[in-house]
Structure 1
């Protein structure tokens, strides 16, 4: 643009202006302007793509004001519906199945299922991070690592307790249903051993001796059957302070040694029972007086 000269109407003043005054353009023109527009367009495209991806992630993950998908945040904690898979350890104070409140009563309407392709392990740790208790459910064995293992009833009664010293069964009756019975490698202390109705009770030690001891006596009773004691060696009935009573209508000792009857004897098949100093019993032919001395050689 060509410069113009202006003259003031005021007399006595004269202002000179340069004849070749240049006017500079302000702004971005040319290739810089095109690059700027291209950069703004690229940023706008990235913004739209990010917004679309955010909306897609929110839709895929099922985000809502109450949680994410089947995971809902409540005032009592987290509520998870359906089946879920945890790839890393899960730390929680309490885990229980779905509950609902009906008439101010909390009820459980579904079971809690924990499953794994390998094993399920539940650990209890102290404040130092050390494992104090462990429950491991594997494909072949269930392992419990703790100082004491206890099973309680719904009322809180101890049913089964195991520790390093003893095993306590707190039920009124312990039933063993295996066909081979129960095997005890050491002593067993119990007030009563009984069989099911119409079943035989058998106490057996295949390779060693069987001993039953009680401070106030051992009572063996069969209401509708026989009591039979078999042994490869000796059967010893011992009473420390008292007597041995065989209370029955008939007591049979069929295999006692029998003394020789005299040819002219008139015992009419009657015998008397003799006792050796070591407690051995034998039969002697009955006579007018005792005949045990005549067969005392049996005690030798």
Structure 2
């Protein structure tokens, strides 16, 4: 409230003129004043609640000068201690574990690692799901700690190991089609078996096939026939003894066998390649048999 006073000068008689006062009411009164106070009080309450929520978030998220809880921010990047859940994709240039622990990536659905180019297009991906693992890219390479290739695959084919292929298991390695390799060798103190349960087994080589056993036997078993064929060369069986224990005994062309007076036999070969044994005589009796 402001008061204004107006004083007149004295008149000729020397007496003061009467004083005239005017009062003007300036300010907010009534219900407007109560609304203003209520609004200020509401703002103060909101400020206190926001400050309390900020303190609560800082305590819950463990904010500190180095980062947030187990998440530390340093010059090399971010360091995370313990287990953490990521609800959305994670973008990182490199992910390393501690020296004394392994890096475990776990997901209830699948784990997918993508590589993108400058345009954001996916150029390589590895996805591990609950039932299968998939990957695509220009090539796939697995190396050992000594930078030796363990597995390499590209559009031209796949290479396992450094000059060798080893598959361990009760059934060994199973191939549906042909296999090309310069050497097949068994593990030390283990036997090497080539088997085709329902089909034929064929081995072809342009310069020869060498089957060698340093210790033990070489067994070749077939349900029907065994063919040893050389287009330009010889079939050599190099051993101290070669045994054919189940060769049939040839039958004589005539009922009488005048030359079969020795209890020894000779091995006969027909022009077709068939083997049989004949009771030995003074001279060869192969021509007298009718098995060819």
TM-score normalized by structure 1?
Answer: 0.81
1:23 aligns with 2:23: yes
1:67 aligns with 2:61: no
After superposition, the Cα gap between the structure-2 partners of 1:188 and 1:7, relative to the gap in structure 1 and judged at 3 Å, is: same
Per mean C-alpha deviation after superposition, the further-off stretch among 245-254 and 183-192 is 245-254
Aligned length: 287
Using the TM superposition, give the Cα deviation of residue 165 of structure 1 relative to its aligned residue in structure 2, in angstroms. Answer: 3.3
Q: Is the contact made by 2:139 and 2:153 (CA closer than 8 Å) also made in structure 1?
A: yes
Take 2:257 and 2:219, find their aligned partners in 1: how far apart are those partners? Answer: 37
Q: Structure 1: 5+ residue runs without aligned partners? A: 99-107
Take 1:55 and 1:266, find their aligned partners in 2: how far apart are those partners? Answer: 115
- Quick one: which of 150, 155, 162 aligns to 2:153? 162
- Quick one: which of 131, 134, 138 aligns to 1:140? 131
Q: Is the contact made by 1:259 and 1:285 (CA closer than 8 Å) also made in structure 2?
A: no
Task: State the secondary structure of the residue aligned to 2:150.
Answer: strand
Q: Is the contact made by 1:137 and 1:143 (CA closer than 8 Å) also made in structure 2?
A: yes
- State the Cα deviation string for residues 244-289 of structure 1 (Å, max 9, x = none): 2222333222313424284432641344433322222233444444
After superposition, the Cα gap between the structure-2 partners of 1:259 and 1:247, relative to the gap in structure 1 and judged at 3 Å, is: farther
- Quick one: which of 181, 197, 205 aligns to 1:190? 181
Greater relative contact order structure (CA < 8 Å, 6+ sep): 2
Calculate the aligned-residue CA RMSD, in Å: 3.2
Using the TM superposition, give the Cα deviation of residue 115 of structure 1 relative to its aligned residue in structure 2, in angstroms. Answer: 0.7
Task: State the secondary structure of the residue aligned to 2:127.
Answer: strand
Q: For 1:101-250, list aligned pairs within 5 A.
A: 108-171=99-162, 174-250=165-241
Residue 104 of structure 1 corresponds to which residue in structure 2? Answer: none
Per mean C-alpha deviation after superposition, the further-off stretch among 132-141 and 265-274 is 265-274
Take 1:241 and 1:117, find their aligned partners in 2: how far apart are those partners? Answer: 63
Q: Is the contact made by 2:62 and 2:68 (CA closer than 8 Å) also made in structure 1?
A: yes
1:7 aligns with 2:1: no
1:42 aligns with 2:42: yes
- Quick one: which of 288, 292, 297 aligns to 2:286? 292
Using the TM superposition, give the Cα deviation of residue 87 of structure 1 relative to its aligned residue in structure 2, in angstroms. Answer: 0.9
Divergent runs of 4+, >6 A: 1-4
